[in-house]
Amino acid sequence: MSDHTQDAATIDLLFRLADDELMMGHRNAEWTGVGPVLEEDIAFSSMAQDELGHAFAYYTVLHEHLGQDNPDTLAFRREAADFRNARLTALPRSDWAAAVMRQFLYDAAEQVRLEHYSSHPFAPLAQLARKFRGEEKYHLMHGKSWVMRLGSATEDSRARLQAALEALWPHALGLFEPGQGGEDAGASEAALCAGWLAQVCPLLVSSSLQVPAERTAKGQWQSRVAAVYGRYAEPAPERVALLDAMQKVYRLDPNADW
């Protein structure tokens, strides 16, 4: 692969990582001030800040190493069609079960991904992956403990969690949409997805939930439902709505200092 193609794949990968984190951070911050208990309000705000911080770091690498605009311009001025987030990350805030389930499915994917990227040939990415792995570990612990608690607490909480799982599952699979910049040097999306299924399925099952996946003869998990892809498609309405809100003030005067 030529350097040029390699760069395109890396740029594409970093945009996917950064845009996912930005959208998750934005959506999670929507719980700030209105969580079901004060303590969770605070926890979701913390995770939102971590995610926004990670997005900023990825954009900074794109800016400093790969010739892209500065982070604020990338986040607050880019057109919806140029974003590369998976649909899961931009879906509007609904109930707490969906918030917890999204966080769990997403953080498990992050963990698998960051594990692989810790030895990525592109050194700035490998460095960030090693750094973020530690923080994401706590997000995942938080998500896991909520899934386990709500899955077994009351019939109502289990039913809500099950509904959230079914609604979010195809979108979560969409996190592993193959990149358009060519297959990444770190790991194939299919391999990452297999690693993710092996992580999340047993925990969901042990939390009294019905997983839309089954085990093959070889003992691997396979989804029974198709993924919803959306990174490169016509921008989904939730991405457009999120960006309208996020870029509103900046766009009052994109040349001003805010």
Please give the size of the binding site for other proteins, defined by CB under 8 A: 47
53 dihedral zone (left: phi>0; alpha: psi -120 to 50; beta): alpha
Look up residue 231 and give its amino acid: R
Q: In angstroms, give the least distance from the CB of 6 to other proteins.
A: 28
Q: Which residue of 6, 76, 130, 215 would you call a contact of other proteins, by CB under 8 A?
A: 76
Q: Tell me the per-residue interface mask from 156 to 185 with other proteins, x by CB under 8 A, - otherwise.
A: xx--x-------------------------
Can you tell me whether residue 48 is helix, strand or coil?
helix
Q: Please, what is the Cα angle at 141 between 174 and 210, to 5 degrees?
A: 55
Of 35 and 182, nearer to other proteins (C-beta) is 35
Q: Which residue of 2, 67, 154, 218 would you call a contact of other proteins, by CB under 8 A?
A: 154
Output the CA–CA distances (angstroms, integers) from residue 16 to 22, 55, 133, in the order listed.
Answer: 10, 10, 17
Task: Measure the CA–CA gap between 144 and 72, rounded to whole angstroms.
Answer: 33
Angle between helical axes of 155-173 and 123-152 (0-180°, round to 10): 150
Q: Which residue of 2, 219, 224, 256 would you call a contact of other proteins, by CB under 8 A?
A: 256
State yes or no: residue 234 binds other proteins (CB under 8 A).
no
Look up residue 44 and give its amino acid: F
State yes or no: residue 150 binds other proteins (CB under 8 A).
yes
Of 30 and 166, nearer to other proteins (C-beta) is 30
Could you tell me which residues come within 8 angstroms of residue 5 by beta carbon, excluding any fewer than 6 positions away? 181, 182
Among positions 19-48, residues that touch other proteins (CB under 8 A) are 25-26, 29-30, 32-42, 45-46, 48
Can you tell me whether residue 185 is helix, strand or coil?
coil
- 131 burial level (CB within 10 Å; 0-12, 13-18, 19+): middle
Q: Which residue of 75, 109, 164, 168 would you call a contact of other proteins, by CB under 8 A?
A: 75
Which stretch in 103-111, 129-137, 225-233, 245-253 sits in contact with other proteins by CB under 8 A?
245-253
Q: Which positions lie near other proteins, rule CB under 8 A?
A: 25-26, 29-30, 32-42, 45-46, 48-49, 52-53, 55-56, 71-72, 75-76, 95-96, 149-150, 152-154, 156-157, 160, 245-246, 248-250, 252-253, 256-258
